[in-house]
Each structure stands twice: as C-alpha cells, then as structure tokens.
Structure 1
Amino acid sequence: MNMQSSAPYAAMVLVQLSYGGSNILMKIALEKGLNQLVFVVYRHIIAMILLAPFAFVIESRKQRPPLSLSVMIKIFVLSSLGTTIHLNVYYAGLAYTSPTVASALSNVIPSLTFIMAVLLGMEKVKTESPRGWSKMLGTAICVSGSLVFTFWKGGYLFKSFENRPLINIYSTKGSSGEYRHAKENWIKGAALILTSHVAWSAWLILQAVVYKVYPARLSLTTLICFFASIQSSFLALCFARTPAIWKLDWNVQLLTIIYCGVVISALVYYLQTWCISHKGPVFVAMFSPLLVVIVGLFSAIAFAERLHLGSMVGTGLIVLGLYCVLWGKGQDNSAAQKPDEGKGLADDKTLEISINDHPLTNPDTGERK
C-alpha cells in the first residue's frame, strides 16, 4: 500500500482521534464549570470566523444561489436540529454519564437515519433481497443494542486498569468514587444522548433537502454556524444570565472551546469531506466504532472508569447492527453502479445521507461531537 492509497485510512484514524479528544475535553470542561450554552455560542462564532473567508473566496456567486425567505427558513431549521438542539442536549447527557457511553451510543445514528429515510420515502427497502434484510435486521439489532446499553447494567464486567483516576475531574470533597457515582446517572445521560442523536438524524435528512436548493457547501456551513450562534445566544440569555460564565481564562475550558472550534469544525470537517469524495461515505462510516475503543481505553486508564456488563453487550450489538446496515448500503451502491456507472454518483447522494453518523458530516461539530 503506497502513501497515496493509505492517506484516507490515516485521515480517518486522525478524525476519530480528534473526536475522542473532543469528547474527553468536553467531559472535563463541563465538570470544571464550563456552561454548555456559552460553549456552543463561542464554538460556532469561531467556526464562522474560520469558514467565512474560505466560503467567500472559494465559492463564486454562481455557486451561491440567492437566499430567498424559504431557503433561509430551511437553513434556520437545519441549524436548530443539527447544532442548537443536538449539541445542547448531547452535552447535557454527557454531564450525567461518561465519554465512553457517549461515543458508543453515536453508532446508532446510521440506523436512526435509515428509519427516518424509510418513513419519509427517501430510502427503499427490498425485502426480497439479502441487502434489504441486512439493513432491516441491522437496524433492529442496533436499536436493541442501544436499549440494552441504556437500561441494563448487570454489575461490573471487570475492574479498571487503575484503582484511582490519573485525572480527577470530580469534586475534591469526600471520596471521588462516591461523588462520581452520585453525580452520574447513566440512564438519564444515555436517554438524553439518544434524544440528541434523533435530532442529528433528522438533520442529516433535512440536509439533503437544503443542499438541493442551496448547493454551496462552505457558504451553507457558515450560515449554519451563524444561525447556531444566534439561537444559542438567545438560549444563553434566558438560562445563563450570570456574566461571570462568559468570562474566558487560560484554562481547560478555553482550550476546549478553541480545540472544538478549530480542530473539529475546520480540520475534521475538511478531512471527512475529502475522504467521502475519494472513498465514499460507507468507508467513512466504517471507522466510527474506532471512537469507542479510543475513548474507552483512555477513560479506563485516565478516569479509572469501570465498564458494566450491559454496556459491553450493548456496544457489541450496536457495532454488529451498524455493520449489517453498512453492508446492505454497500451492496445497494454496488448494485446501482453495475447497470450504469454514471448513475452511481447520483444514487450515492441518498447513500451519504442515510449512513453518516454523529460526527461524520457535521460541518460545525462533528460530535458524536
């Protein structure tokens, strides 16, 4: 394998490492007092400032159609689902659970998106073909795995690598372990994260509709960041009125804001779109379970996180279901390209919408992120 052919693989590993870093940094920053509404505002302002010059220079006026009221409303709703609702609910759930849980549950997004696409008639399921059954079975397994992950803990499977966390992100009062278990509510946290993924799946569906009427990707991303910053600013004025929480100091909170705004919103988005253009969305989605391994190992060592039996079984079912769905989608793509190679590109637009996961095509987050 030469350097050119291995570049997409290296890029996707870097993408998953970047998302793992954002999940871990966000968990630490939230425990240290970072307000999630303030974070979302600052993050999207940074992303907007970074992306706007590139959108203006790279995309000509011919690529940027005029903004009608109808298009503006669609972009506004798109921003509400994929950024404002998704991120704020996701980070609320992350505060009650661990980065490992959040990373594992992100694998249900392809199945949730597939269900929505079928209900809206954007995805066809052929029950007489193996690929159709693979997609339906994979969706059922994935959803079942998420329910097992959320509601069945069943005791600990094994102890952590460390008796005490190397990085203590919890209160120093009393035992850190006692405080952690009092603070954590895995069922509540997992339920909030799953709710955020429903909004993200709806964002993926609506993205296809908006992109047809406004095909300037960088400009669209900039507008999404603009509306997201306004929406989150309004929420922050209602629920985060304390002026002190807007103050930025040289600490982990500021590092998290800069990291997510620059690395996730700019670099990761570019790498993902580049990999999709070269290898297709199925290739990109295949790397999503790597995030669970990266975050799980780091959390077990640094945070002394102990994994539940139900969490391990649920994660296995989610990954199994994910690959069943991806296999079916891959077969759909191959079948579409056989009769007419020229039609494959058009058919792939539906494929990209249906299987992308939590952080794969989010132009301003990426989270699973």
Structure 2
Amino acid sequence: MKEYTFYIAMVVVQLAYGGSNILIKISLDKGLSQLVFVVYRHLIAMLLLGPFAYVLERKQRPSLSFSIITKIFVLSSLGTTIHLNVYYAGLAYTSPTVASALSNVSPSLTFIIALLLRMEKVKIASMRSQAKVLGTVICICGSLVFTFWKGGHLLKGFVEKPLINIHAGSVGDFKHSKQNWIKGSALILISHIAWSGWLILQAVVTKVYPARLSLTTMICFFAALQSCLLALFFDRKPTSWKLEWDVNLLTIVYSGVVLSALVYYLQTWCISNKGPVFAAMFSPLLLIFVGIFSAIAFAERLHFGSLIGAFLIVAGLYFVLWGKRADNNFVVGQSDQIGKHQSDDSKVLEISPRMSQC
C-alpha cells in the first residue's frame, strides 16, 4: 500500500502545479505584480513550515556556518528568485499550456549542466549514454519547434466559449503575437536553466545540511527577502502590495500553502525515497492537466506545430529518464556484485582457519 502512496503523491503534485498555472495566469493578467507575488507566497510558506522545522528537526539540524548560509542563499536565488520571476514574466507572454510543455526540458538541461560540470559521465559505446544524449537532442529540438514553429492549422477546442474570459478578442486566441510567443518561450527556457542549476546545487547542499524542513524554510526566507528587494527597486507602487478579496489573494494563498509548503515537502519526500528519476517521470502529466484545464477554462486551441514540439519534448524526456534509470540499475548491480564477492571472501576466510585447525 505504501508503494502506491508515492504514485498518488506525485499525481497530486502535478495537479497542484496545473491548477497554479491557471490561477497565476489569471492573476498576472489581472495586474498582480510577479515580484510581490513571490514575496507573499514564500512568506506564507515560511510561516507555515517554520514551526514544524523548529520542533521536528531540533536534534538533527546541523549548525549553520557562513559557507552553508552562502550555499543556501545561492540555492534560493536559482530555484526561487530567478526561476520563478523569469518564469512568471514568460507566462505573461504565453499560455499555461506552453509553459507546461517547456517545463519538460528540465531533465535534459540538468543533464547538460551536470555533463559540463563533470558530474555526469558519458560513454558513447554504452546504450545508456546514447539514450541520454539522443533524448537531450530530441528534447532541445522539440523545445525549438514548440517555440518557433507557430504554424499549421488550429486544433479543435473542447468548448466553444471560454468559462473564464480574461482576454479580449476571438475565442481560443490568446492575442499573443509571434514576437511575444517567442519572447515568453525564451524566458521560460531561461527560467528552467536556473531550475536545473538549482537541482544540481541542491544535491550538494543537502549533503552538508540534511534537515529538509529547515532547509526549505530558509530557502523561502531568502526568496522572500531577495524578491522584496527586487520589488522595492523595480516596482515602487504602493498599490502593488495591497491585497483585496479577489482572485489575486486566492492565488497567493494557494501558491504559498499548496505549492511552496505542501508540494515542496511531497517532492522532497518522494525524491528521498524513490529518487529524482521517479519524480521526473511524472512531469509530462503537467502538460496534460494544464492542456485540459486551459482548453475548458479558456477555450485554448493549439497549433499543429506546437503539438509536434510537445510530442518531441515528451519523447526526448523519456529517453533521458530511461538512460538515467539504466545507469542507476547498473550502479546497484555493481554494488550487489561487490557485496557478494566480499561475502564469499569472508566465507573463505572463515573456512580457512577451521581447515588449518584440523
């Protein structure tokens, strides 16, 4: 039964992300400041996680040094401040479905960065390495097709009229020009480069600071602080900080409670038990969920070229994931063989003294 809870948790994670993409898109178009949104979102998460981190990790929380604080500060800069603010800037120019499709390039980008940093090894003669390289190339080609080929006929939508009309104009047309489409997609790709760097740096930080709840709380604190400074510099309007009982407040509370608190914890729990490859395998579900939500809520219709690009991204993703899973199985197999040889050697050493005594 416990095995199924990991699958349920990751489906819930993707559903939560799908709902947030719709809400955030609506709020950004309603005038919500993305910098202020990031501040409020992480303040809520910090206030929620802080007491649990203090009580539950009191004994296992290591002492903080300047080096660890610096690493956590950089970690929050990459994974929250840079990633989220650039991502939301790109989301303002595109649709939630586009943003969700491009999120599938993260495993390939992570593989490239790890390869450049020599954290990942490639043996061309190995089928595992060939799958990772081929998947990375296919994924990048798919993202380029999705970004630049806004062609082909429009696919038929699920509904004739949108349930939520936040754009003036014809049904299903988000009124994004080709220039804005490219600009938004480029910003989202840049945000996922920062996210990939965050994934790699997180593996380094968790080794020196294994208290996950405390780590997440500090990341939220630094993210709120950094975005607050950016908001005071780039968005000096006092009205941007004003909250009312509207969809913007709903988006802030939802993102703070569900995404920055609950989803972060579920992802950490699943990765610590099943590994990052298991968690990454569920990322294409986000594209499916958001596509369905957008088709119903906004009557969104995608171009045929976008569909081809999305298919290439998902296909490339699973090539990379298969290669990574094969790598993990290979490492586990080698460890088992080494353990078996050591066990056999110990048995031989036990028998030898007895024979000498005889």
TM-score by length of 1: 0.87
Give deviations 1:73-116, integer Å, cap 9, x for gaps: 22111111111111000000000000000000000000000000
Find 1:39's aligned residue among 37, 40, 48. 37
- Contact 1:107-1:319 at 8 Å conserved across structures: yes
In the alignment, does 2:166 pair up with 1:169?
yes
Amino acid at match of 1:53: P
For the structure 1 residues 246 and 207, does the alpha-carbon distance in structure 2 shift closer, same or farther, using more than 3 Å as the test?
same
For the structure 1 residues 251 and 183, does the alpha-carbon distance in structure 2 shift closer, same or farther, using more than 3 Å as the test?
farther
Of structures 1 and 2, the larger Rg is shown by 2
For the structure 1 residues 342 and 42, does the alpha-carbon distance in structure 2 shift closer, same or farther, using more than 3 Å as the test?
farther
In the alignment, does 2:5 pair up with 1:7?
yes
Secondary structure of the residue aligned to 1:340 is: helix
**Corresponding position of 1:247:** 242
- Cα distance between partner residues in 2 of 1:76 and 1:234: 14
**Corresponding position of 1:116:** 113
In the alignment, does 2:292 pair up with 1:297?
yes
Find 1:76's aligned residue among 73, 78, 85. 73
Compute the displacement of 1:343 (Å): 9.3
**Corresponding position of 1:186:** 181
For the structure 1 residues 262 and 274, does the alpha-carbon distance in structure 2 shift closer, same or farther, using more than 3 Å as the test?
same
Amino acid at match of 2:181: W
For the structure 1 residues 231 and 316, does the alpha-carbon distance in structure 2 shift closer, same or farther, using more than 3 Å as the test?
same
Q: Where do 5+ consecutive residues of structure 2 fail to align?
A: 340-358
- Cα distance between partner residues in 2 of 1:322 and 1:229: 32
Give deviations 1:211-263, integer Å, cap 9, x for gaps: 22222221111111111111101011111111111111111100000101001
Compute the displacement of 1:43 (Å): 0.5
Q: Percent identity?
A: 71
For the structure 1 residues 230 and 127, does the alpha-carbon distance in structure 2 shift closer, same or farther, using more than 3 Å as the test?
same
In the alignment, does 2:134 pair up with 1:137?
yes
Compute the displacement of 1:266 (Å): 1.7
- Cα distance between partner residues in 2 of 1:245 and 1:202: 30
**Corresponding position of 1:352:** none
**Corresponding position of 2:223:** 228
TM-score by length of 2: 0.90
Amino acid at match of 1:14: V
**Corresponding position of 2:49:** 51
Secondary structure of the residue aligned to 2:236 is: coil
Compute the displacement of 1:182 (Å): 5.4
- Contact 1:25-1:256 at 8 Å conserved across structures: yes
**Corresponding position of 2:328:** 333
Amino acid at match of 1:210: V
Amino acid at match of 1:76: F
- Cα distance between partner residues in 1 of 2:326 and 2:203: 21
**Corresponding position of 1:354:** none
Find 2:199's aligned residue among 204, 207, 224. 204
- Contact 2:172-2:298 at 8 Å conserved across structures: no
Greater Cα shift, 322-331 or 156-165:
156-165
For the structure 1 residues 177 and 266, does the alpha-carbon distance in structure 2 shift closer, same or farther, using more than 3 Å as the test?
closer
- Contact 2:135-2:318 at 8 Å conserved across structures: yes
For the structure 1 residues 306 and 85, does the alpha-carbon distance in structure 2 shift closer, same or farther, using more than 3 Å as the test?
same
Amino acid at match of 1:7: T
Give deviations 1:172-223, integer Å, cap 9, x for gaps: xx66777734598211110000010011111111112222222222111111
Amino acid at match of 1:9: Y
For the structure 1 residues 256 and 219, does the alpha-carbon distance in structure 2 shift closer, same or farther, using more than 3 Å as the test?
same
Secondary structure of the residue aligned to 1:46 is: helix
- Cα distance between partner residues in 2 of 1:208 and 1:98: 32
**Corresponding position of 1:348:** none
- Cα distance between partner residues in 2 of 1:279 and 1:72: 28
Secondary structure of the residue aligned to 1:91 is: helix
Give deviations 1:295-353, integer Å, cap 9, x for gaps: 11121122111101221111111101000000000001111111224999xxxxxxxxx
**Corresponding position of 2:306:** 311
- Cα distance between partner residues in 2 of 1:179 and 1:324: 32
Considering only aligned residues, what root-mean-square deviation do their CA atoms show, in Å? 2.0
**Corresponding position of 1:90:** 87
Q: Where do 5+ consecutive residues of structure 1 fail to align?
A: 345-369
- Cα distance between partner residues in 2 of 1:287 and 1:15: 9
How many residues in Structure 1 have an aligned counterpart in Structure 2? 339
Mapping of residues 346-361 of structure 1, within 5 Å: none
- Cα distance between partner residues in 1 of 2:223 and 2:158: 40
**Corresponding position of 1:256:** 251
